[in-house]
Amino acid sequence: MELDQRAAKAAEEAAVAASAGEPPVPLPVTDSLISAADSALLDSLRSTALEQKFGVFQTAAEGKAEEVILGNKRMEIRFSTLGARPVVMRLKEYQTYRKTPLLLADPDSGTYELKFIAGTVDMSTEHLYFSVASKDSDEVVFQAATADQGKFLRIATPWTASPISCA
């Protein structure tokens, strides 16, 4: 907003100067070389910070959280690719007394993570982005990439899709 006001004021001053026969005041120009150098420095600092915090899992520290759904006619489980964790577990045929879906777990009910040590870094799957390596009706396999192309963290979430018996 402030930049728009400054630009409008500079344009107004240039118009007044032009009408008075004076050369217009040049607007400041950003040096593209300095901007590119600053951008490269920021990228380098960011990469170093990710490497210090996530170690070999720095490539899995960035991504987009998406939902992966497994289920049958009675139950639905939604997993997030952020942390490879179950987000919502819902019984399809049942509702609460308020007529809302009956959830066995919801996003606000707690945390689900695996903690481990990778090299010298204390890690948690909570902050890693996983991709779906495979998915079928019985399981979804999540995979987190590492800086080493041949290595990764794989989490399989097997689930029997047979009918659930509720007594």
pLDDT, average across residues 13-26: 52
What is the residue whose two structure tokens read 């997993």?
A: 79
> What is the Cα–Cα distance from 46 to 51, expressed in whole angstroms?
9
- Which of 28, 52, 76 is closest to 147 using CA atoms? 52
Structure tokens at 35: 């901007």
With tokens 């902050």, the residue in question is: 127
User: Could you tell me which of 80, 112, 78, 75 has the C-alpha nearest to residue 91?
Assistant: 75
pLDDT tens-digit series, residues 88-146:
889 999 999 999 999 887 677 778 888 988 888 888 999 999 999 989 877 889 999 88
Indicate if the pLDDT at residue 32 is higher than 50: yes
pTM above 0.85, yes or no: no
3-state secondary structure of 29: coil
Per-residue buried b or exposed e for 9-26, using 16+ beta carbons within 10 Å of the residue's own CB = eeeeebeeeeeeeeeeee
Q: What are phi and psi of 51, to 5 degrees?
A: -65, -40
Q: Return the structure tokens found at 163.
A: 């009918």
Note the pLDDT tens digit of each residue in 62-91: 899 999 999 888 889 999 999 999 888 899
**CB count in 10 Å sphere of residue 63:** 15
Coil/strand/helix, residue 138: coil
